Structure 1
Amino acid sequence: MRLIRRLAAFAALMVAIVVAYLSLMPVDEGPAPVFSDKVNHFLAYAGLAAPLTLALHPKRWLSAVIVATVYGIGLEFAQAMGDAGREGSVLDALANFLGALAGAALIRFSAGVRP
């Protein structure tokens, strides 16, 4: 289990780096969206919270949601303050939270953790 948690922590770190890069790069340099903006946010933060939940432990799934959500809010503030042509958005932050909640819950419930 220790190796899995370490690999999950590494995966979460890599996802966090990719999410930050894609969130802060200039709009005109970014890849074309695969889905709608909100769906992309949802999927990105589900993909961040899932390995983060494994790294922390499925019993601490709510902590993973909080960490991923605070990270997302921080990136929204960075977008609002930056000059890359991006805007911080409350709706993006909400999509980030819902994605983090879904990703963490998926791991928590698939791991069979009891309350």
Structure 2
Amino acid sequence: MSRFRNTLRATTSGCGMSLPLRTLRRPRLWLGIWITLVLAVVCASLMPASDLPPPPFRGVDKLEHLLGYAALSGYAVMLFANARDHMRIALLLVALGVSLEFAQAMLTASRQADALDAMFNTLGVAIGLAIGRTRLVRALQWFDARLAGRAGVSPRK
């Protein structure tokens, strides 16, 4: 697979930005899953409170914020190749979390902004970034290679 297929090319505000992906057999699949997860967080954050299941215990929403943003950030660290891009994406995820809190206050009748939610989002992003300092950073590549091996495709060198 060429390097071109493992590079996401996006243009934001007229400013070109290239985000190289790690070497993966199915980069579009893994990128699509990450984008879908981001969109799921946006949708869940803006859903009416009545459409969400009741919390099993007080404070569970903070845990959901922490784990959700840790998953988004950790997945991004496993997906994108450069540490500089990890920081860019982390900042974008923090901005997304804060923006969604404001959007809840302005765009929904049954949700309100909560500074603690934004704090737990940010903490989750930091936890996800920490994956880049561990062996877990290669987990997506390992899983991708194992799937390729099971599909009868010989492992790539």
- TM-score, normalising length: structure 2: 0.62
Q: 1:27 aligns with which of 16, 37, 49?
A: 49
Q: Structure 1: which amino acid aligns with 2:47?
A: M
Superposed displacement of residue 34, structure 1:
5.7
What is the CA distance between 1:2 and its match in structure 2?
A: 4.3
Q: Distance in 2 between matches of 1:98 and 1:55?
A: 20
Partner of 1:52: 76
Distance 1:105 1:7, change over 3 A: farther
- Deviation of the 1:12 alpha carbon: 1.8
Higher mean displacement: 82-91 or 59-68: 59-68
Q: 2:109 aligns to what SS in structure 1?
A: coil
The answer to whether the aligner puts 1:104 opposite 2:129 as a matched pair is yes
How many residues of Structure 1 are paired with residues of Structure 2 in the alignment?
112
Greater helix content: 1
CA distance in structure 1 between the aligned counterparts of 2:73 and 2:81, rounded to whole angstroms? 11
Unaligned runs of 5+ in 1: none
CA RMSD of aligned residues (A): 2.1
Structure with more strand by fraction:
2
Q: How far is the alpha carbon of 1:105 from its aligned partner?
A: 1.3
Match in the other structure for 1:39: 63
% same residue:
33
**2-side partners of 1:91 and 1:23: how far apart?**
14
Runs of at least 5 residues in structure 2 that lack an aligned partner in the other structure: 1-22, 139-157
Deviation at residue 5 of structure 1 after TM alignment: 4.8
Kindly indicate whether the alpha-carbon contact (under 8 Å) linking 1:24 and 1:84 is maintained by their aligned counterparts in 2. Answer: no
Q: Return the index of the structure with the highest Cα Rg.
A: 2
TM-score, reference length from structure 1: 0.82
Which residue number corresponds to residue 12 of structure 1? 34
With a CA cutoff of 8 Å and minimum separation of 6, indicate the structure with the bigger relative contact order: 1
Contact kept, 8 Å, 2:105 with 2:113, in 1: the verdict is yes
Q: Structure 1's 93 and 7: CA in aligned 2 closer, same or farther, altered over 3 A?
A: same
Secondary structure of the residue that 2:78 maps to in structure 1?
helix
